[in-house]
Structure 1
Amino acid sequence: MGLKESLAKLSMINIKRGEVLFKEGVPSNGAMFFLFEGQLDIYKQIDGKHVKLRSILPGEFFGEMAIINNSPRAASIVVVSESAKLGIINRTTFGQMSQESPEFLFLLLKKVIERLYETDGKIRAIKRKQDEDTMIAKIIPTSGGSAERDGSTIPSDPFSDNATPIGE
């Protein structure tokens, strides 16, 4: 059986704009996901702010660390499209897909390595910019206005303690 056939057998969930699939740091439920429709954004808390790292588009896997080592979620995932359709891959399904479709493991490993490099570079760039901003602020004091106007941070509402993650 090929990858397409394996994906067609996944349990599906639909979630709406603004909903949090899971939050950074919460224990995982041992599931990863495949995005069929919609767009999700990945946020990481850096120096007390939720910073967008990247978007997840249809055809992408994510959340694989929950399958591999059951670690807490490394980032928060928020739906930014009107809705999103996701396939759930639990450990049992992961094992079946791995055996039935060796291409699945290759694609997953390739994507994980790409994301690792990409995320590391983005985090380094964010920290470098913060260091530069700190140095500039020491030289040229500001009036106290927010420097975050480029949309790279989001309001904390989706990440409040009252928000219930969908995927947990």
Structure 2
Amino acid sequence: MGLKESLAKLSMVTLKRGEVLFKEGVPSNGAMFFLFEGQLDIYKHIEGKHTKLRSILPGEFFGEMAIINNSPRAASIVTVSDSAKIGVINRNSFVKMSQEAPEFLFLLLKRVIERLYETDSKIRAIKRAKDDAKSGKVTENPMKDSPAVDPDSIPMISVDDVIPNSE
């Protein structure tokens, strides 16, 4: 069985514009996700502000840290399209997908490494801009295209109903 067939078996969640899938710092439910349709934005609390890090587009996995170590969510995820269709991957699904479609692990690892580089670079640019502002230098805002959204002000959507217990 291939990756497409494995993804087709996932439990699905549909979110509407403005709905929050999860918030930064909340305990993880041990699930990661795959975006089938729509667009989500990732926000992180940096230097006292909710800052958009990037968008999640169809075909992307996200939330994988929850599968690996069940740590609190590292960022907030907000739906920005009219709706978003999301597949839920719990630990059992993750193991099955890994066995049935070994290319899944390679794609996931590749993307995680790319994201680490992207996020690190973006955070450094934000901090550099802040340091420049303190010293009086004029620099372009590295997050100039980021809308001012506070994920904490938007109610979080519970997806626990569609996430089978992965223990």
Counterpart position of 1:58 = 58
Q: Distance in 2 between matches of 1:149 and 1:113?
A: 22
State the TM-score, normalized to the length of structure 1. 0.88
Q: Distance in 2 between matches of 1:164 and 1:52?
A: 17
2:148 corresponds to which of 131, 136, 154: 154
Q: Distance in 2 between matches of 1:167 and 1:124?
A: 33
Q: Distance in 2 between matches of 1:155 and 1:41?
A: 10
Q: Tell me, what secondary structure is at the counterpart of 2:99?
A: helix
Q: Matches of residues 1-168 of structure 1 in structure 2 within 5 Å?
A: 1-136=1-136, 150-156=144-150, 158-160=151-153, 163-167=155-159
Cα displacement (A) at 1:62: 0.2
Q: Tell me, what secondary structure is at the counterpart of 1:126?
A: helix
Q: CA RMSD of the aligned region, Å? A: 2.0
Cα gap change, 1:16 to 1:61, in 2 (>3 Å): same
User: Is the Cα–Cα contact under 8 Å of residues 20 and 166 in structure 1 kept in the other structure?
Assistant: no
Q: Distance in 1 between matches of 2:23 and 2:13?
A: 17
Q: Distance in 2 between matches of 1:15 and 1:124?
A: 32
Cα displacement (A) at 1:154: 1.8
Cα gap change, 1:153 to 1:132, in 2 (>3 Å): farther
What is the total number of aligned residue pairs between the two structures?
158
Q: Tell me, what secondary structure is at the counterpart of 1:164?
A: coil
Q: Distance in 2 between matches of 1:166 and 1:133?
A: 40
Structure 2: tracts of 5 or more residues without a match = 161-167
Q: Distance in 2 between matches of 1:13 and 1:36?
A: 10
Q: Highest CA radius of gyration, 1 or 2? A: 1
Cα gap change, 1:2 to 1:92, in 2 (>3 Å): same
Q: Distance in 1 between matches of 2:87 and 2:120?
A: 27
Q: Tell me, what secondary structure is at the counterpart of 2:114?
A: helix
User: Is the Cα–Cα contact under 8 Å of residues 24 and 74 in structure 1 kept in the other structure?
Assistant: yes
Q: Tell me, what secondary structure is at the counterpart of 1:58?
A: coil
Q: Tell me, what secondary structure is at the counterpart of 1:35?
A: strand
Q: Distance in 1 between matches of 2:25 and 2:125?
A: 22
Amino acid at match of 2:43: Y
User: Is the Cα–Cα contact under 8 Å of residues 20 and 78 in structure 1 kept in the other structure?
Assistant: yes
